Each structure stands twice: as structure tokens, then as C-alpha cells.
Amino acid sequence: MSRPVSPKQLAANRANAGKSTGPRTPEGKLRSAQNARKHGFTATTFAVVRLEDLQEVAHLREDLIALYQPVNSQEIFALERVALAQQSILRAARFESGFFTTCLNQSFGADGRPLLPMNSEFAGDIEITRSQNRTFMLVDGFHRLARQGNGFALLLRYQAQAERQYRRAIEEFERLKALRDELPIEPIYETEPDPQPEPLEDTSTHCEASPFPPERPAPVPAFPSAPGPRAPAPDPLLAIS
């Protein structure tokens, strides 16, 4: 059975805990922010083998963390989504380059000659450069691929989706950052409290007469005095004599 902690030891523990301010350097804050992470981020699982750099998304993630300085695991997760969206944007650009390379390749035959050479009437006596001929062949190959399927439409949809995911990931990080930077708001009263009346200043002096005369006490009603002793009645015998 564990011994109970004495009040003196408990107060010392609280005082020591109050001295800790947490990590101060960006590296320390980053390590502390990842303490609550329940998932790992392995860059090699998001790359196309033998086509893309296996650490491409890891480099994007490091740049985002250095720029935005996340302070918790949720902000790091939002930035990882941003890195994945950026990788998709770069992949869409490579996809576009490969698509048009395929279009150019479609305009060549097995013997290495253009399947549809430019009409001589267009060229005439005008000198046509190699770049112009290749542009013509690129468009020709594009039309050939367009007739075979909807690859270009899928490319446009993939590009739009990558851009949309990027914007949403940035908005999510900004939302989390706003929660972190939110300042406490003072309470707002629906109705302002009534101001207390100020005490009136007494400007009167003791020598001034009061505008209201003092009230006189009501007269006390006079009660009849008690009757005194009566004089004795005269003796009738004395009056006869």
C-alpha cells in the first residue's frame, strides 16, 4: 500500500511543476507536438517506385513544418495532407508531360517516319523547322489518342482534384492555427448596467435659512383641573338664632 503524500511534499511537487515551461526551441516543440501521434508518416509508401523520388513527399513535409511551425499533432497532420496534395500536383505535371510524349509517339510509324506528314502545300517554299514539325506531330498524336479513349479528360480531372485537395488542406491548417491563436474575448452584456447615481453636492451653509420652516409641535390638550375641597354648608340652627 502506497504511503500518502504529506501536504509539505505535495506543495513542493506543485512548485517544481510550475517551474517547467516546456520546450522552447523549434526542434523541441516539434518533438513535443508529436508525442500524441498515433500514426506514422512513411514517405516511401506514397511514391511511385522507379519513377518518383522516394523522399519527395518527405522533403515537402519538412519544408512545410519549417515554414508554418506546427505546435500539435493535428497541425502536423494537416501539413502532411498539404505535402501529399503538393506531391499530387507535381505528379499531375509529370502525367501531363508523359501524356503529350505519348501523343508525339503515336504519330510515328514502325519505320520511324511520321504517319501523317505535313502537306507540302502548307510548307511550299517556306522553311519549316524541326520544332514546328514536331508540334504538328504532337497534335496529330493527341487526336489519335483522343479517338481511342478519354485519357486527357481524366488528366484534367486529376489535376483539378489535386488542386482542390491542396486548398482544403491549407484551409484546415489555417482553421487549426486560428484556434491556437484565438484571443480570449471579453464578455459582452446584452444590456448595459444602469449607472449608479452620483451623490449630490451639499452647497448649503449652516447660516442660510432653511426654505422650509421647522414644524411646531402640536399643542398638548389642557385637561380640567381637579376640583378643590368644597366649603362646608351653613348650619341651619345657627341661622335661626
Tell whether 220 is covered by a domain.
Answer: no
Domain membership flag for residue 219: no
Q: Is residue 72 helix, strand or coil?
A: coil
Q: What is the pLDDT of residues 54-64, one digit of tens each?
A: 999 999 999 99
Q: Does 124 have pLDDT greater than 60?
A: no
Query: Does some domain include residue 51?
Result: yes
Is residue 235 pLDDT above 90, yes or no? no
Is 76 a domain residue?
Answer: yes
The predicted structure's pLDDT at residue 70: 93
Tell me whether residue 2 is in a domain.
Answer: no
Distance CA 101, CA 141 (A): 9
CB-CB contact of 67 with 59 (8 Å): no
Alpha helices in the chain (DSSP H): 7-18, 26-33, 56-68, 73-106, 120-123, 130-148, 151-181, 236-240
| pLDDT greater than 90 at residue 38 | no
Domain-located, residue 7: no
Residue 129 maps to a domain: yes
Task: Give the total number of structural domains in the chain.
Answer: 1
**Residue 30 in this model has a pLDDT that exceeds 80:** no
**Predicted pLDDT at 190:** 41
Of residues 76 and 26, the one with the higher pLDDT is: 76
Q: Which is more confidently placed, 212 or 169?
A: 169
Query: Mean pLDDT across the stretch 120-148?
Result: 78
Closest CA to 109 of 150, 135, 144: 144
pLDDT computed for residue 12 by the predictor: 73
Confidence of residue 239 (pLDDT cuts 50, 70, 90): low
Integer Cα distance of 71 and 29 in angstroms: 6
> What is the reported pLDDT for 160?
97
Q: Residue 8 has what pLDDT?
A: 79
Q: Evaluate if residue 188 carries a pLDDT over 50.
A: no
Region 179-187: what's the mean pLDDT? 61
* Average confidence score pLDDT of the chain: 76
41 versus 79: which is more confidently predicted? 79
Domain assignment present for residue 162? The answer is yes
pLDDT band at 11 (very low <50, low <70, confident <90, very high): confident
**b or e along 77-96 (b: 16 or more beta carbons within 10 Å of the residue's beta carbon)?**
bbbbbbbbbbbbeebbeebe
3-state secondary structure of 226: coil
Domain with 40 in it: 22-181
- Residue 136 confidence (pLDDT): 85
Q: What is the pLDDT of residue 189?
A: 40
